[in-house]
């Protein structure tokens, strides 16, 4: 998937600026459940989806029926993402709030910060690595989970922005200057979906807000993890 050429486009500064799609799986069959969350490069050939599904089933010793379900779920999410390629986005705000509220194994994380979509100095993966280093987090699974949570929220923002752009186009259909209205109303700009995911963005945490949005990291005991997992299981039933 290539980024449409524009006069103002910039090449990614770091390899972590790859156009990655947040993929979430929650599949249950034959009394077994498989849950996972990861990012996928939509430029990879579709054949890699089946390869991944087969390898996952083999490594986790899951029933063979999981292969088709895993592959179909990934492919469906990739198809949805690709359907937005080249679509205009209406974004009145270029600085958006990002919230982290997740548990990874024994590590509980809560944080709240602003993400500048116009600043290309960093990306979710880089932010996650820095966050873990600053907070002294040693669990190697935490960083990818933090990056995934950020990308998933950026994806939702992108979908909402595409929907807003479509609504504006419909409301302005037949009027001269409709496209100009999309790019100027409320200070928003017509963006390409790929720019949001391919370019780097950076986090904003103002000094005066450090005590308001100070990140919270707790290490849970085995008993606390068991209690949380039991509650999560009840909520999903």
- pLDDT tens by residue, 167-213: 777 777 656 554 544 444 444 444 444 455 554 455 665 555 555 56
Res 76 pLDDT > 70: yes
pLDDT of amino acid 117:
77
pLDDT of amino acid 209:
55
pLDDT of amino acid 173:
67
Range 143-177 burial, b when 16+ CB lie within 10 A, else e? bbbbbbbbbbbbbebbbebbebbeebeeebeeeee
Res 6 pLDDT > 80: no
pLDDT of amino acid 146:
97
pLDDT of amino acid 197:
52
Res 138 pLDDT > 70: yes
The reported pTM is 0.74
Work out the angle at residue 15's Cα, subtended by the Cα atoms of residues 13 and 19, and round it to the nearest 5 degrees: 95
Among the listed ranges 29-43, 55-69, 187-201, which one has the minimum average pLDDT value? 187-201
Chain mean pLDDT for the chain: 78
């Amino acid at each position: 998937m290539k980024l449409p050429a524009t006069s103002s486009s910039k090449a990614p500064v770091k390899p972590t600026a790859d156009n990655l799609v947040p993929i979430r799986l929650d599949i249950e069959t034959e009394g077994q459940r498989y849950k996972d969350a990861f990012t996928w490069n939509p430029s990879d050939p579709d054949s890699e989806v089946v390869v991944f599904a087969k390898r996952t089933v083999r490594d986790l010793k899951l029933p063979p029926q999981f292969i088709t379900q895993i592959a179909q779920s990934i492919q469906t999410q990739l198809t949805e993402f690709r359907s937005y390629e080249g679509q205009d986005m209406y974004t009145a705000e270029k600085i958006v709030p990002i919230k982290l509220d997740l548990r990874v194994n024994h590590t509980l994380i809560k944080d709240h910060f602003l993400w500048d979509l116009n600043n290309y100095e960093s990306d979710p993966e880089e932010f996650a690595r820095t966050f873990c280093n600053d907070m002294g987090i040693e669990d190697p699974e935490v960083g990818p989970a933090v990056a995934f949570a950020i990308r998933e929220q950026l994806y939702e923002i992108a979908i909402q922005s595409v929907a807003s752009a479509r609504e504006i186009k419909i409301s302005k259909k037949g009027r001269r200057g409709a496209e100009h209205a999309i790019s100027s109303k409320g200070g928003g700009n017509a963006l390409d979906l790929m720019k949001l995911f391919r370019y780097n963005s950076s986090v904003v945490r103002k000094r005066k807000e450090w005590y308001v949005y100070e990140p919270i990291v707790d290490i849970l005991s085995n008993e606390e993890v068991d209690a949380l997992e039991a509650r999560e299981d009840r909520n999903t039933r």
